[in-house]
Amino acid sequence: MSELALRAAKLDGQDDLAGVRERFVLDEVVYLDGNSLGALPAHVPGRVEDVVRRQWGELRIRSWDESGWWTAPERIGDRIAPLVGAAAGQIVVADSTSVNVFKALVGAVRLAGEGRDEILVDATTFPTDGYIAESAARLTGCALRPLAPGEVPAALGDRTAAVLLNHVDYRTGRLHDLPSLTAAVHAAGAVSVWDLCHSAGALPVGLDEHGVDLAVGCTYKYLNGGPGSPAYLYVRRELQDRFDSPLPGWNSHAEPFGMRSAYEPAAGAPRGRVGTPDILSMLALEAALEVWEGVPVAAVRAKSLALTDFFLECVEAYVPAGRVACVTPVAHEERGSQIALRCADAGDVMKRLIERGVVGDFRQPDVLRFGFTPLYVGFADVERAARVLGEVAGAAAGRS
Amino acid sequence: MSELALRAAKLDGQDDLAGVRERFVLDEVVYLDGNSLGALPAHVPGRVEDVVRRQWGELRIRSWDESGWWTAPERIGDRIAPLVGAAAGQIVVADSTSVNVFKALVGAVRLAGEGRDEILVDATTFPTDGYIAESAARLTGCALRPLAPGEVPAALGDRTAAVLLNHVDYRTGRLHDLPSLTAAVHAAGAVSVWDLCHSAGALPVGLDEHGVDLAVGCTYKYLNGGPGSPAYLYVRRELQDRFDSPLPGWNSHAEPFGMRSAYEPAAGAPRGRVGTPDILSMLALEAALEVWEGVPVAAVRAKSLALTDFFLECVEAYVPAGRVACVTPVAHEERGSQIALRCADAGDVMKRLIERGVVGDFRQPDVLRFGFTPLYVGFADVERAARVLGEVAGAAAGRS
């Protein structure tokens, strides 16, 4: 056993979260793509079966009340709340991330008020945020200004209505400074919108503590809700009464079954709802969130940093010099829970890694992306992934 | 056995669709709420289990390609297409009905072009359409004019951009004249948007034949997709290149994995996609659509009319005179697949009906609503429902 393998075994032995891995269905694969699709929690299939066979099949329409279907969006929102540092009553689960970005951005422009007609958006962001921001700007008569997150403070001004930022960059894994950027946005009198897709469930977010105005996130990455599980929308409590959704569907009405022709928005988090919730996906997510029972987010963050530190150390040891270059910041305060390595033949290398049982993903044009999900990835996984990467990259280099 | 019960048995014996009932999980309840939530097709639980345990649990991220997750929205759209009279390549399954109404209406206003700044909307419609239309009007700078569908032809003019109509009214069950209303909208140079929630799967729609421009519908009523299963959007082929979605999420990009910062819309139906599809709900729907194998929509319509005719006859025979009044049109060409009965104490009566194993629903303020889903409702069910209604309504009348 190599020195790094021994270290890995020791680190796994000291890992307080090691037992949480039992809550998931896993096999011999080293799964480092949980930042794209989280693994299946072991108790989810049974719960989904109950939803399908009993709640839908036997109770049918009665389940909207009796099985709690109707209130699922806000109930599950309250379950996500502690993971992102939010008190109850501010998060609703509904729709996709893109649709929630639209609600949040148009809502933010309306909250900002008259005279503010510019939206700033992270130019390095996951593209959908930029596309949706462009549509929100067009429909609200705003100008859209794409820039790097570091340029935001200097760009803020009297015209700034809303600022859409990613907490962790999907490609590089860079963690942006949410507290100071939010404070800068507020100092300029603008409204902050954060996309938490790549941070929620991997590190503390502190929405309430840092006074974030609106936030959105997906639930199928670090929250393990299943493929395409519904996203969520956070609207800070003090803003809820003024939140004016561009998608005022009947589920967001103060009295949805009154079937009234005049729209009157519901109070609180349900105001962010739109149409009928997709119950199968939603209740699979609800079940999946139970894996967080007794798991402090601070412990997840500590393990996440230890995993990525150890991976970088193993890559340094195993991968021939010059074959890969780390794109992810080395400083802990700037690192999410993934490591992105630039590699000229990244597409080919990732294919071989997957064949050898190490699953990460390839991002155009030349990035190997490895996500570290502390609930079920261990240090031995990390050592093996780096070792196989070294073999694959070395072999490919030898061939060329 | 009463004469009506004998008639019911005979009609069931002659029913070509009687065998289709075996494809569903049903019990001794007479389920006349399939126009709200369709019953569970028998093979769906096994398929959902495979999606959860194998596709998500074992293949994980690989399923986006290997299990066909990525292409599900347009593949399932093509499965719905023949049920609403559409050729392949024009329907995409995604999001909720409300979200699709928003895409369709904003898209319709943009298709109508400059100088047209009024949206007509069915004032008797399911309220969400009106709420969303109000938002679409506000964001596109249009005026919104709510009116009864019959008033549409006279209200059309040079300013009309888009007209949003329900094919079947959710409350009264009235079927509107889609061909002639669509023709009138076109004659005025405006764009038609039809909501098919209460007609698709119950009667022929003929989207292509009648030149409908855009249409939306849900899949959890007559299509039996399960609670909150995703809705669909139809964009007529000739309009697809000009369709300009207000929700241009990354799933609608010409090259979604190019992760390009400039938005370029996909060709064809995928242009109507937004964010990551909710795979569990979506693949349950895909499985559910298999119950249509070998079932012609014309046969469904014929049986639907026979069921509602027979129900009205039984109600006439069993329910004390004056206790209920039919709100649904008697003329076949104006009737969907439900019967709505006005009844002063409708809430109380429906509660007692449900206790006696006859499930319909109550719509404010005084409507008993019964949906007839020809795939699994038979004539004996109809006779029993009317008989129990007569007993319940008679008893309540006796008490008062």
Q: What is the DSSP string of A366-383?
A: TEEEEE--TTT--HHHHH
A65 and A198, same domain (yes or no): yes
Separation between Cα atoms, residue B205 and residue A156, nearest integer Å: 52
Question: Tens of pLDDT along A135-166?
Answer: 999 999 999 999 999 999 999 999 999 999 99
Task: Find out whether A252 and A270 touch, Cβ atoms under 8 Å.
Answer: yes
Separation between Cα atoms, residue B344 and residue A228, nearest integer Å: 45
Separation between Cα atoms, residue A230 and residue A223, nearest integer Å: 11
Mean pLDDT (whole number) for B193-220: 98
A226 and A240, same domain (yes or no): yes
The confidence band for A398, taking pLDDT boundaries of 50, 70 and 90, is low
Q: Do residue B95 and residue A98 have CB atoms under 8 angstroms apart?
A: no
Kindly tell me if the per-residue pLDDT of A55 is higher than 90: yes
Q: Residue A397 has what pLDDT?
A: 66
B355 and B263, same domain (yes or no): no
SS3 state of residue B164: strand
Question: Tens of pLDDT along B125-160?
Answer: 778 899 999 999 999 999 999 999 999 999 999 999
Question: Tens of pLDDT along B22-78?
Answer: 999 999 999 999 999 999 999 999 999 999 999 999 999 999 999 999 999 999 999
Q: Tell me the shortest Cα–Cα distance from B85 to chain A, in angstroms.
A: 25
Domain containing B171: what range? 46-292
CA distances from A311 to A290, A324, A349, A370 (A): 28, 13, 17, 10
Catalytic residue among A33, A95, A169, A195: A195
Number of structural domains chain B divides into: 2
Task: Find out whether B141 and A140 touch, Cβ atoms under 8 Å.
Answer: no
Separation between Cα atoms, residue B49 and residue A51, nearest integer Å: 11
Query: Per the omega criterion (within 30 degrees of 0), is the bond before A248 cis?
Result: no
A340 and A288, same domain (yes or no): no
Within 8 A of A40 by CB-CB distance, chain B residues are: 52-53, 56-57, 60
B236 and B139, same domain (yes or no): yes
Separation between Cα atoms, residue B13 and residue A47, nearest integer Å: 39
> In angstroms, how far is CA B19 from the centroid of its own chain?
23
CA distances from A14 to A9, A19, A31, A382, A386 (A): 9, 11, 21, 15, 21
Q: Do residue B280 and residue A280 have CB atoms under 8 angstroms apart?
A: yes
If you measure CA to CA, which chain B residue comes closest to A64?
B227
Mean pLDDT (whole number) for A321-328: 96
Q: Residue B352 has what pLDDT?
A: 97
Structural domain includes residue A23: no
| Interface predicted TM-score (ipTM) of this complex, two decimals | 0.97
Separation between Cα atoms, residue B31 and residue B38, nearest integer Å: 9
Within 8 A of A57 by CB-CB distance, chain B residues are: 25, 39-40, 45
Q: Residue A399 has what pLDDT?
A: 60
Q: Residue B397 has what pLDDT?
A: 66
Catalytic residue among A236, A271, A323, A369: A369
Q: What is the H or E stretch that residue B194 is in? A: strand B191-195
Max CA distance (Å), chain A = 72
Within 8 A of B39 by CB-CB distance, chain A residues are: 57, 60
Q: Residue A369 has what pLDDT?
A: 96
Question: Tens of pLDDT along A251-276?
Answer: 999 999 888 889 999 999 999 999 99
A287 and A304, same domain (yes or no): no
CATH code of the domain covering residue B148: 3.40.640.10
Residue whose structure tokens are 């690192």: A335
B103 is catalytic: no
Residue whose structure tokens are 């699994």: B376
A346 and A220, same domain (yes or no): no
Count the residues in chain B.
400
Tokens representing B50 are 């495979």
Q: Residue B398 has what pLDDT?
A: 62
B370 is catalytic: no
Q: Residue A152 has what pLDDT?
A: 97
Closest CA to B262 of B254, B274, B272, B251: B254
If you measure CA to CA, which chain B residue comes closest to A41?
B57
Q: Tell me the shortest Cα–Cα distance from B91 to chain A, in angstroms.
A: 19
Within 8 A of A69 by CB-CB distance, chain B residues are: 227-228
Mean pLDDT (whole number) for A95-119: 97
A220 and A302, same domain (yes or no): no
Q: Residue B364 has what pLDDT?
A: 86
Tokens representing B155 are 């209200």
Looking at residue A244, its amino acid is: D
Mean pLDDT (whole number) for A12-19: 97
Mean pLDDT (whole number) for B236-251: 98
Q: Which of B39, B57, B135 sits opposite A60 (nearest CB)?
A: B39
Mean pLDDT (whole number) for B196-202: 98
B184 and B309, same domain (yes or no): no
The residues near A197 (Cβ < 8 Å, ≥ 6 apart) are A97, A126, A166, A168, A170, A216, A217, A218, A221
Q: What is the H or E stretch that residue A308 is in? A: helix A297-318
Question: Tens of pLDDT along B335-391?
Answer: 999 999 999 999 999 999 999 999 999 988 899 999 999 999 999 999 999 999 999
Instruction: Enter the pTM of the model.
Output: 0.97
B228 and B355, same domain (yes or no): no
Looking at residue A143, its amino acid is: A
SS3 state of residue A216: strand
Q: Counting one residue from A and one from B, how many pairs have CB atoms under 8 Å apart?
A: 251
Percent of chain B beyond pLDDT 90?
94
A31 is catalytic: no
Domain boundary among the residues A262, A292, A322 is at A292
Average pLDDT, chain A: 96
Structural domain includes residue B35: no
CATH code of the domain covering residue B346: 3.90.1150.10
CA distances from B124 to A260, A319, A354, B84, B368 (A): 10, 68, 56, 23, 17
Structural domain includes residue A390: yes
Structural domain includes residue A26: no
Domain boundary among the residues B292, B312, B328 is at B292
Tokens representing B109 are 């206003």
CA distances from A315 to A139, A327, A377, A385, A391 (A): 47, 13, 17, 9, 11
Structural domain includes residue A68: yes
For residue A217, which phi and psi values (nearest 5 degrees)? -170, 160
Interface mutation target, options A25, A96, A252, chain B, most CBs of B under 10 Å:
A96
A254 and A319, same domain (yes or no): no
Separation between Cα atoms, residue A45 and residue A63, nearest integer Å: 19
SS3 state of residue B168: strand
B166 and B69, same domain (yes or no): yes
Structural domain includes residue A29: no
Q: Tell me the shortest Cα–Cα distance from B311 to chain A, in angstroms.
A: 22
Provide the H-helix boundaries in chain B: 3-13, 44-50, 63-66, 72-80, 97-112, 127-140, 152-155, 178-187, 279-288, 297-318, 346-355, 379-399
- The residue with greater pLDDT, B113 or B270, is B270
For residue B353, which phi and psi values (nearest 5 degrees)? -60, -45
Task: Find out whether B298 and B70 touch, Cβ atoms under 8 Å.
Answer: no
Structural domain includes residue B30: no
CA distances from A9 to A5, A19, A377, B11 (A): 6, 14, 13, 73
Within 8 A of A67 by CB-CB distance, chain B residues are: none
SS3 state of residue B214: strand
CA angle, A223 then B288 then B226, to 5°: 50
Task: Find out whether B297 and B118 touch, Cβ atoms under 8 Å.
Answer: no
State the CB neighbour count (10 A cutoff) for residue A86.
Answer: 24
Catalytic residue among B195, B213, B361, B381: B195
Separation between Cα atoms, residue A17 and residue A22, nearest integer Å: 10
Structural domain includes residue A37: no
If you measure CA to CA, which chain A residue comes closest to B285?
A280
Q: Which of B123, B261, B274 sits opposite A123 (nearest CB)?
A: B261
Average pLDDT, chain B: 96
Separation between Cα atoms, residue B154 and residue A186, nearest integer Å: 51
Domain boundary among the residues A292, A314, A339 is at A292
